[in-house]
Structure formats: structure tokens, C-alpha cells
Structure 1
Amino acid sequence: MPLVPEVRLFLAEDAIILWARLEATAGRSLPAPYWASAWTGGQALARYILDHPAAVAGRTVLDIASGSGLVAIAAAMAGARAVTANDVDPYAIAAISANARANGVVIRPATRDLLDGDGDGAEVVLAGDALYDGLMARRVMPFLIRAADRGAHVLLGDPGRQHLPADRLRPLATYHAAITGPPEDAQIRRADVFAVRATTDTLQQR
């Protein structure tokens, strides 16, 4: 991956063909294999973590919508005390486990839907490209705000999708690169990393 050459991942050469093969094998419809691509916002967030290890070092970390495990792996490589990678797709959990082994790091997978909570006490909550559609954004952003409100350090990587709530975000870094991701991201050349601001911070600024 252009932005994160330190991390090795098992990825699909063509996620659409992989999806069709998985459905043929399963004999039923399956969710899109988001875990089989390195999403642009996730690459940016992983890059930021590796460049700023103090953001996670010695802390407990939760990576939501982890997909391939890229961001979780970066957190483990940067010295996080413990890393949990959360995804509800069992194929993603298998990919996370394989990719963690490939990079020599230990990551605890979690398959339960956590988005109605506030991060289960994790000191750092990470979300790489988790606002990819309106339905997901309407669940993820309230979750991230609840985590920030209880005192977690919350970081979001995003390539400028339309669901970003600008008033809740503090820009931290911008990355420009010919980023390899899923086909729908082929023309994306910029991705940003933000800190999610707690409700009290937002009210004080107003």
C-alpha cells in the first residue's frame, strides 16, 4: 500500500470477483467484502498512527469496522498496550487474524455489534473510513461522540465523504497520494485524519 508500506495485508486482486466466488461457495447472498480492500481513509489513519505513536502507545485501543485490520495492526505496531479489532462480518475476523499473524502482532477480534455503546472503556477509539454510506454514518458518528464524551481519544480517517460532520471534527493531518483502495476510491488522492471532539468542546467553541 503506497501510504503504509510497513504493513503487509492479504487483499483481493479484484474484490468483486472474490465476492461472487464467496457467494457461489456459500450458496447465498453475502455482504460486500469490505475487508478485502485497504480503504483510503484507513490507510491515512494507519499512516498517522505510525507517524504519531504517542497517540496509542501504552493505551488500550478499539478499532471499529476494522475490515482488513489495517488500522488495528498499525496501532499494535505503534506500541498500543492492547488492541481490539471489531467487525461484524466473520470473513473480516478471519482476514484480521491472518493479517495480524503476517505482521507479527497480537490483536483481539470482536464480532459483537458495539455501535450502540461508547467503546467499552477503550482509551483510544479508531475509525478508518467508517462513514462510507449514510446508514453507517448515522450509527458510527453518535458512537464516536459518545466515546469522546466519556474521555476516549477518538481518531477518524476519511477521504472526504459526504457524511463528515465538520463541526464535530478537529483536523490533524492530510495525506496526498495515489492510494490503492476499492474500485470506487480509484480517483481519490487525498485523505484526512481528524480527532472527534467531545460535546462539551463543541459547545464551548460555539
Structure 2
Amino acid sequence: MVDLADDDAPDRRLRLDPTEFIKANMRLAPVPALPEIQLYTAHPGSGLRRLVDPEDDGDTDDGRPEPQPPYWAYAWAGGAVLARYILDHPKIVADRRVLDLGAGSGIVGIAAAKAGAREVIAAEIDRNGVAAIGLNAAANGVEIALVDKDVTTGPPPAVDLVLAGDVFYGREVALRVIPFLDRCLAAGIEVLVGDPRRSDLPLHRLRLLAEHQVPDFGDARGTATKPSGVFSFETECR
């Protein structure tokens, strides 16, 4: 029999309960430019590294790089602009089945639910993000169905509208997402994209619907915000 007592210590950190951690360490606050929505958001005292980095031992000067900021812990510009657009134009989602793709904090799905969507599904592969979406939905008094897997590898879901905020943040991700969105279009599903015009955004496939000034994660405090766009994802011309 192998004694796992010593080797099990890192696993205990893996088993941090994300729901309890988020409630205890993050602040529930209105989103800038979206006072209708509150999110559990990270702040300097959150100690978020303990949740996102299983090897963290509390030493902030151990030579290891900081973990990638989790998308679910902040309001990003693409999701914020798409949520703002939905709240301002509720007919877009009213009585429709909606998928919030790569939901992160759930901000887009929450906006859709508040605006009268018949059903909202949030797809998010980060287990901490799944916990955050559940908490954020409850804090905003809406119901969201959660899917904790990569839906882009399969057929389109049974929805009327896909909302994709901040899904073009890297070339590899874009190359995976675009074929999925094409399958959605082929199935008659409308696709809306929110993005601050990141470098991997396929602008040749997008039709601009609206622009809003919303802050993005990483913007320096006090700097002027740049307009972010809401786009319709269009069939590629052959």
C-alpha cells in the first residue's frame, strides 16, 4: 500500500471550493457602464492566486510567474459592450433561446436573461468560472443553465441566438471558434459578437451594429476608454 499522506498536500489546494472562495474573497459590485448588473469581481486583496494556481503556497516572491488572470473574475470590454447593447435593445433576445459562448463571468447571459430571453445557456470550461456564473446569476435574480464543457467541438445547440463576447483573444481560439459559429449560421442561428477590436477579430466576417465606450480589464485607471463594437457575424462570401 502506498502512503499518499505527503503527496496529497497539493491536492488539498485543488479542492478549494470555488463558490465559497468567491463569496468570501471577492466583491459584489455594479459593473462600470452597466449599473443594472452586479458581479463578484477580483480586487487586490482577493488572494485570487490561491484559487487559480494549485501550487500557490502563499509566497508572493517565489520566482514563479503570476497566473493568467481568469476571465470570469473581471468585466472585459467585449462582454460589457454586448451586455450594454442587449439591455438597450431587449427585443434582440426577447422570448428567444440564447447561448452565452465562453461566458466568463456570465455578464452577457445575465443581460439576456434580464432583457427577457426565454432561456439562457452559459458555456464555460473553467470550473471556477462556472461557480462564478452561478453566484452572479443569483445575485442578479436570474436563472442561467450552465454547460461546463467546450461546446465548439460539437454541433450547434438548440438555440436561436449565440452571444460571443471576447472570444477572439488569440489566434488558436479564433481558429476553433469560427468553424463553430459557421455551423451555427448554417443551422439558422443568429450570432452576435462583442469585442474591442482585438488583433484576431475576423473583421471581414463582421457587420458593425453599435459601439459603446466601456472599460476593458487592464486599462489604466483614469485613461480614456476606447469604443468597443457589437457585430453581427456574417456568412463568408465565396
Q: TM-score scaled by structure 1?
A: 0.87
Q: How far apart in 2 are the matches of 1:97 and 1:105? A: 10
Q: How far apart in 2 are the matches of 1:190 and 1:45? A: 12
Q: How far apart in 2 are the matches of 1:18 and 1:197? A: 42
Once the two structures are superposed, the pairs formed by residues 3-152 of structure 1 within 5 Å of their partners are 3-14=33-44, 18-23=47-52, 26-27=54-55, 32-152=69-189
Is the 2:113–2:119 Cα contact (8 Å) retained in structure 1? yes
Return the offset for 1:34: 1.2
Is the 2:156–2:187 Cα contact (8 Å) retained in structure 1? no
Residue from 149, 156, 159 that aligns with 2:193: 156
Is the 1:118–1:144 Cα contact (8 Å) retained in structure 2? no
Q: How far apart in 1 are the matches of 2:213 and 2:75? A: 16
1:101-160 CA deviation, whole Å, 9 max, x = no partner? 000000001001101234312110011111111111111122122212211110000001
1:182 and 2:217 matched:
yes
SS of the equivalent of 2:151 reads coil
The total of aligned residue pairs comes to: 196
Which of structures 1 and 2 has the larger relative contact order (alpha carbons within 8 angstroms, sep 6+)? 1
Give the counterpart letter for 2:116 in structure 1: G
SS of the equivalent of 1:50 reads helix
Q: How far apart in 1 are the matches of 2:68 and 2:156? A: 24
- Calculate the aligned-residue CA RMSD, in Å: 2.0
Unaligned runs of 5+ in 2: 1-30, 57-65
Return the offset for 1:182: 2.1
Return the offset for 1:176: 2.1
1:193 matched residue in structure 2: 230
Return the offset for 1:198: 2.4
Is the 2:211–2:229 Cα contact (8 Å) retained in structure 1? yes
Give the counterpart letter for 2:34 in structure 1: V
Return the offset for 1:20: 2.0
Percent identity among equivalent residues? 45
Q: How far apart in 1 are the matches of 2:201 and 2:68? A: 24
Q: How far apart in 2 are the matches of 1:198 and 1:100? A: 32
Q: 1:35 to 1:153 in 2, by over 3 A?
A: same
Q: How far apart in 2 are the matches of 1:9 and 1:147? A: 29
Is the 1:62–1:119 Cα contact (8 Å) retained in structure 2? no
Q: TM-score scaled by structure 2?
A: 0.76
Return the offset for 1:14: 3.9
2:12 matched residue in structure 1: none
Give the counterpart letter for 1:5 in structure 2: P
Return the offset for 1:67: 0.4
Q: 1:18 to 1:197 in 2, by over 3 A?
A: farther
Is the 1:19–1:33 Cα contact (8 Å) retained in structure 2? no
